Every structure is written in C-alpha cells, then in structure tokens.
Structure 1
C-alpha cells in the first residue's frame, strides 16, 4: 500500500522537462499559426508596420530535438546561447575557487562574531551583504550554509528563527529582485535581447537600494517586536524547543579571517566592480567619458607593455560576454596564486564549480530552443504582429505593469531564472518596443517578478531548505511575510511605471 501511495505521489517536473514540453507545444503551434515576417533595420530591430505573410513552415519531430542544439550554437534566425552558457560555466568555476578558500563563509561568520552584543545592528549589515550577493551573482543556494550560524545567534539574543531566516533569505532574494549584473538573470535576459547587461544598470541600483531598505525595516520591526514580547513570534509555540535545540553553546562561532582570505574577499569584490565598470557605456553618458578608451589605446602603443598585455583588449564600457568571461577566468587564476592554492586543488575547485552550474548552462540552451522553433517556423513575427495590434492603444506604464504581472505566474511555472529569461525574452522584449518600453526595462520587470516569487514559492529548494533548517512551517512563513510581499509588489510596479517616463 505504501509503495502504491508513493507511485501516485505527484512531484513538480524539472525545469528541463517543462521547457522541453514547451518546445513541443510551440512546435504544434507552428502547424496552427500562420507564418510571417517583419522587415528589420541594420541593427536587426523589427520595423513596426512592415509585417507580411509567408508560406507555412511547420516544425516536426526532428526539429524539436534539434532545437536545443541550435539554441546553443545558433542559427541564421536565432543567436546561440554559447557565449552566455560559457560565461555561466566560468563564473561557476570562479565561485568554486572562491568557495574553496571559505572566504565568503568565514567572512559572514566573522561579521556575526564582530557584532556580538549588537545584534540589531547586525540585521542591516548582513542583509546588505546578502542583497549584494543576490544582485551580483544570484546568491541563493549558498545561503543554506549560514542558517545553522544565524539561527542560534538570533534566538540567543531574544529574536526567533524567522528573524534569522529573513536575514539571509529575504536579503539575498531582494538582491535578485533588483539584480544589477546577476549573470543568471540580467546576463541571460540581456544576451537574449542582444543588449549589454549594463543597459539599465543605474536604475536597477536605485531599485536595489529601495527594496533592500524596505526589507531591512520590515525585518528589524518584527525582530524588535519579538524581542519585546516573545509571544508576538509566529513560531512562539516552538520557542522553548528552539532554545534547547539551537543552543549557542553547541554552535560556537570562533572564526577569524586569515590574511589570504581577506585578499580573496578583496579580489572577489574587485571582480564585480571591474565587471560593472566594463559594462557601463561610459562614452554614451552625458557628458561622455572617453578616459577608458584613451587609456587603453595609449597603453597598447607602449613598447613591450602593449604587446605583453595584448592589443585586442576592449576598453571599459564596451565589454560584452567574451570580456567578462575572460575577466573571471583571470581572477580565478589570480586568487589561486594569492591564496597559495595548489594547482591540482585549483583545477578540482574550478571544474567542480563549473559542474555545479552545468545544468544552468544547459537550461539556457534548452530554453533558447523555444525561440529557435518559433523563428524557424516563422511564427515569432505573427505573435509580435498580434501584440502590435493589441498593444497599439496601451501606454508604456500599462504594458510594463502587465509584463511584471505576467512574469509572476511564469516564475512559478519555470523556477529557473535563466531558463525563464531565455524562453520568454525573445517575445517580451520586442513587444515592449510597440509601447515604447526599452528592452532593459523589460529585463528589470522580469527580474523583479522572479525575485519576488523566490521569497515565497514552495517549489524553491532554497526557501524550503531554509524553513526546514529553522523548523518553520511555510504557512507561518506566509503569514509573516505577506505584508512585505504586498509592499514590494506595489513598490516594484510604481518603480517600473516611473522608469517608463524617464
């Protein structure tokens, strides 16, 4: 009987399965939707009002299985994801090397120790660190390691497990909500639309500051309320049990960063600072900055030094995936030497880190297969034409609001942020142009919705893992967080609408 129950138990299919079924569904649509095409300008952008019908191009079984392959290498109608997939693998290797030094883990632990006795101040400090992690490299699963440290500390000073979970979970995911250069969200979405991840960067920094400040205020208010009256805790029924189970004596924090680890943290932060500087289009600013182009050009003319560095170095502000992938490869090697890591250890750490992100890199290709089938079946233009007619009367504010709302259920359907971006941006980005919404703002709307969902979804291993460690029921988590979710929902929409007028 138990075996029969286990067979009948339903589980959420993986992102790979969902995306492959979507490829099949889209292939079926190529048999039903008329084919068509738009004229494009020299940059490849569609020209509104130029749609024309074409003979049918239905996609068959061979086309379905070939789509993920072409999604990786590209076709005449669809750019491949090889550049962004390789970037994901290399940054995975970079993170593998950094994690091998335990600089990030011990850095957080040292911060907790440093603020002992000042736990209320610790909340904003740690949430800002987690938000930066979420915004820059999509920090999520990495937070699991910190709950066994944070929960005993927070409980011992009069808070509760929900406060501890909030610091890492909410902190990292509002960072993802306002991703600045997150390669798995911003990077994939931007590459799908053929724009730089630096487009819209400044506005996303503003959103990051805004939602992080709101979240910190919300968590601090709850923590103070619980400290003043423990009965206000949503997990008060477990308080005595938690006090025994998460005894601070069993979880002593006695970690000090070594000199080499401190240098690793400096290099880690420097890597993302350089990447951001490389992606910001400095020459297009008002007034335009040409200092990086001039400096790079002058260095290339210096005898020996120019040849030693290389003549094909792109100046900061003109970087794309090739350059930022190269950056993280270089910084991985630099960290190896700074930390005095053995060559064999470095290779194992780098390959291990790449292996951790292999599924993400492949998901991008599978998801891009959806766009391959649509483009090869010539139904993309037909869908856009329907959108052009339907959106012709919509303001940019209404369109970006509908885009944000659209991505909330889509984030439940496709939990992979990179998979969701690769699967949908090819349609949503061009649709935005009909309502005068920039592609970068469509990317921001997608990220904001995805990050919002990632705080509450029961299909997320990060959410469920954090709650399981803290023995918090997800219903209690929802009761605690629903007000913050409404606030973030409203703030995100208002921010997106305001950005359409800037």
Structure 2
C-alpha cells in the first residue's frame, strides 16, 4: 500500500509540475518575437497607404497634409523580413541597449565597493517600518518632476539601481524601487509640463504658444502623482505585512536578506570618499538632464567615469574593476537585447507602409461623436497608435496634424487635442513591451515583464480614469490656449 501511495503521490507531483510548466509565461524575447510576427501578418491584411508630407519652411519639420491620404502599392513582410527586423531593430535601438549595459556594469562596480551599503547600514535602518512607507512619495517626487520638466524619461534608468538599493534598505523589494524611479518618471513624463518632445512638438503643430495651458496640465500632474503615490504606498504596506506577497518574491529570495550586511559593513574613510564621488556623479547627471545634454552618449560616459574613479578609490585593480563591470553587464544583457528586439516591430510596419493607413482608419472613428466623448475617444485612438509609433515626437508629427482638424470638426479646442495626445501617448507607454525604457528597467532590476505588468496595470487604469475626467472637463470648458 505504501508503494502504491508513494507512486500515486509521485504521479500527482509530476502532474502538478507539468501543469506549472504548461502555464509558464513566455520569456520577454519570445513575447517581442511574437509581436514582430503579428506585425508581419498585419502587413498582409492592412492595405498600404500614405499621407503627403511637406517641409515647414519656418521650423524645417515635416508636416502631414490631413486630406492627402491615398493607397500605394502593397509591400507585405516576408518570413525573412521577420528575422532581418531583429538586427535592424538592434541597430536602431543601439544607444539604449548600450546605455543599459554600461549603467548595469558601472553601478555593479560602484555597489561592489560596499560604500552605499555602509551608508545605508548607518542611516536607513532607522527609517524601516511605517516611517519608511510614507517616505516613498518624497523619494518619488524628484523622479516624477525631472521627466516632466525636461521631457527626458530614458535618463532615469541611471537612477534605478540606486532606487532599488534604497527600497531594499527600507525593508521593501526591487519592485518598490522600480516604482520609485521608473513608474514615477513614466508618470511625470505623461504630464508633459515642459516636455519639448511631446508637448512642444504637439503644440507647435497645432499653432499654440509653446508650453501654454500649463495650469491645466499642472492640475493633471497633481492628480496623477497622487494616484501613483497611493498605489506605491499600498503595495509597500502589503509586502511589509507579508514579504511573500512581493511580486518579485523569488528574486528577493535569490538575492537573500541583506539586512545583516548593511549593519556589519564599516563606513571607512575610503568608502566615504567613494560616496562623495558617487554624489558628485549623480549631481552631474541631474545637471546634464536639466541642461539638455546629449543623454545618449554623455549619461553613459558619466557612469563610466564614476565606475573607474570610484573603483580605483576603493582599491580595485584594473582587472578587478573590469571583472565587476562585466558581471554587472551580464545581469542586464537580456533587457538590452529586448530593447533592440522591440524596435523590430516598428521596422516591419514602416517598411510595409501601413502606419499611415492605421492612423487614417482610427482617426475616422472619432468623426461625428459629441465633443466630450470625442475628446475621450481621441485618448483611446492615440493609445492604440502608440503601439505602432513609440516615439513621442514621431507620433506627434504623424498624428497631431490629422487630429487637429478633427478637433475643429468636433468643436474641440486645440489645447484639448494636445491633452488627448499627451495622455494617449504617455499612459500606454507604461504597459508596452516595445517601450525600451520599460524593458531596460526590467533588465536592470531583474524583474520580469509579467511581474512588472502585474504592478503597472493598476496605475494605468487609474491614470486612464483621470485622463478621461480631465479631457471631459477640457472639452466642456473649451480649454483655451493659455
């Protein structure tokens, strides 16, 4: 009987394991590859078409003639195109992939000096518990404001390792650190307070004064930051009560509890110097973001300088420094690849000339709706279009010249059209695997994309509700240009 029971138990365990394997979520690279395949299938279904574009003599920007859409010869993707789209996408996203690798490698060098751990052991443990939870919005605010002011969301990847380190030191997990930096910065970018890439481009195409309507966007920013803080605090309280409910519990278990490490690492003079150098480097990154430096090359360069200087200050040999850098880069390699794979989707759609057809079809849905409903429909249309045109300035150039006259037909002000674009572009960016910033953040943190989605969708739903309310009000009051 015992043998039979044992055999029965073995079969049950085996069945359970097979069941778990059956429902295992696909790897991020598999998800992106499947999306590339879907894009290729769409090129056989959606007819090719384009709008006529001409150069604005004043700004030099390409302007779309909204009445010029016409069909052109179909150019569907072949099976070979699916695979060539991947290296082409890697080439287009090269700067983001390299930035992820350099930041991951550099911060690993900095962290291996244990200078930050020594500082955390000295001060942060005092903030554990309920005090630490309500400190989170204070930590999030700078990451919210920087992209809102500069329009530079990708540069916030540089701060993610620090955010995760602080979150763990407060007794939380890597997901909390990702919320502090990445979700807060994504939310801030959505507000478009002073973003030259989204707000500036869209308003110039609508003939509005640059950064006009700031008061209304500021109200939206306050509401969005409040919603963001609410969800982050709620999640932090949940895992504080029961750490096993962490969305990345296995990751935290594999890393282990470093609480003891923080308390036993001595804050030596050498480590104090490393911390001063690290602080100076962070200040340089903030200055570079505010000054509008070329973040594609200068941000990674600053991190490389920090890694070399801090590593040598800590007493690392050149070989030790290089080894730690490579170890850090290995940890984020998958995310660097995902950023390039995701660009392959746009490559397929652009080559087949179906993006303008998608824009034309979706924009036609808005015609004839009441203006309040039309404003909210514009948000949904822009959200869908963002799946095909990830770049904010690129999406503005492709869609705003078409949505602008549609707004006139619906009785909407141009400022309302711009708000619909900002929210439609920004909110959906938080969920899309084609967004290199999101996938780069997942790579740096070690969090999988499904784990990230489990956290981000709640933010997205609440943001969409806020966006609908703001657009309803804007359409009702006929939000003006100032």
Smaller-chain TM-score bracket: 0.5 to 0.7
For residue 49 of structure 2, give the secondary structure of its aligned residue in structure 1: strand
CA contact (8 A) 1:103 1:264 kept: no
How far residue 33 of structure 1 moved from its aligned partner, in angstroms, is 1.7
Query: Which residue does 1:21 correspond to in 2?
Result: 34
Specify which of 411, 427, 434 is matched with residue 445 of structure 1.
427
2:403 pairs with 1:435: yes
How far residue 65 of structure 1 moved from its aligned partner, in angstroms, is 0.9
CA contact (8 A) 1:93 1:351 kept: yes
CA contact (8 A) 1:400 1:496 kept: no
Query: Which residue does 1:366 correspond to in 2?
Result: 341
1:101-129 Cα distance to aligned partner (Å, 9 max, x none): 3344444443323557xx65443335533
1:381-440 Cα distance to aligned partner (Å, 9 max, x none): 2112212323456768425642687699x8xxxxxxxxx985999768734553355576
The verdict on how the C-alpha distance between 1:446 and 1:496 changes in structure 2, with shifts beyond 3 A counting, is: farther
1:8-34 Cα distance to aligned partner (Å, 9 max, x none): 431111121112112112212212221
Query: Which residue does 1:52 correspond to in 2?
Result: 70
- Any stretches of 5+ residues in structure 2 without a counterpart? 1-10, 56-60, 145-152, 203-209, 246-256, 405-416, 439-444
How far residue 351 of structure 1 moved from its aligned partner, in angstroms, is 2.4
Specify which of 373, 376, 380 is matched with residue 402 of structure 1.
380
CA contact (8 A) 2:110 2:310 kept: yes
Distance 2:131 2:300 in 1: 37
CA contact (8 A) 1:37 1:52 kept: yes
- Any stretches of 5+ residues in structure 1 without a counterpart? 74-79, 152-162, 194-198, 227-232, 239-246, 280-315, 411-419, 455-459, 467-473
- Comparing 387-396 with 211-220, greater Cα deviation is found at 211-220
Specify which of 7, 16, 19 is matched with residue 18 of structure 2.
7
For residue 362 of structure 1, give the secondary structure of its aligned residue in structure 2: helix
Specify which of 153, 157, 160 is matched with residue 137 of structure 1.
157
Specify which of 304, 317, 328 is matched with residue 342 of structure 1.
317
Specify which of 303, 323, 330 is matched with residue 355 of structure 1.
330
The aligned runs of 1:78-227 (5 Å cut-off) are 80-115=92-127, 121-129=131-139, 132=142, 136-137=156-157, 150-151=170-171, 171-172=180-181, 174-178=183-187
Distance 1:325 1:387 in 2: 39
For residue 76 of structure 2, give the secondary structure of its aligned residue in structure 1: coil
The verdict on how the C-alpha distance between 1:34 and 1:123 changes in structure 2, with shifts beyond 3 A counting, is: closer
CA contact (8 A) 1:139 1:172 kept: yes
Distance 1:64 1:218 in 2: 39
Specify which of 350, 353, 356 is matched with residue 378 of structure 1.
353
CA contact (8 A) 1:37 1:382 kept: yes
Specify which of 44, 47, 69 is matched with residue 34 of structure 1.
47
Distance 1:219 1:363 in 2: 26
How far residue 373 of structure 1 moved from its aligned partner, in angstroms, is 1.1
Distance 1:357 1:497 in 2: 42
Distance 1:93 1:422 in 2: 27
For residue 41 of structure 1, give the secondary structure of its aligned residue in structure 2: strand
After TM superposition, the score normalised by the length of structure 2 is 0.61
For residue 44 of structure 2, give the secondary structure of its aligned residue in structure 1: helix
Query: Which residue does 1:333 correspond to in 2?
Result: 308
- Comparing 255-264 with 394-403, greater Cα deviation is found at 394-403
How far residue 69 of structure 1 moved from its aligned partner, in angstroms, is 1.3
Distance 2:291 2:37 in 1: 39
Distance 2:429 2:177 in 1: 19
CA contact (8 A) 1:36 1:379 kept: yes
CA contact (8 A) 1:127 1:167 kept: no
Distance 2:71 2:449 in 1: 49
CA contact (8 A) 1:72 1:81 kept: yes
Distance 2:174 2:470 in 1: 27
How far residue 64 of structure 1 moved from its aligned partner, in angstroms, is 1.0
Distance 1:383 1:358 in 2: 34
The verdict on how the C-alpha distance between 1:463 and 1:53 changes in structure 2, with shifts beyond 3 A counting, is: closer
How far residue 215 of structure 1 moved from its aligned partner, in angstroms, is 5.9
The verdict on how the C-alpha distance between 1:169 and 1:497 changes in structure 2, with shifts beyond 3 A counting, is: farther
Aligned length: 391
Distance 1:72 1:445 in 2: 25
The aligned runs of 1:419-498 (5 Å cut-off) are 430-436=398-404, 442-447=424-429, 462=447, 490-491=465-466
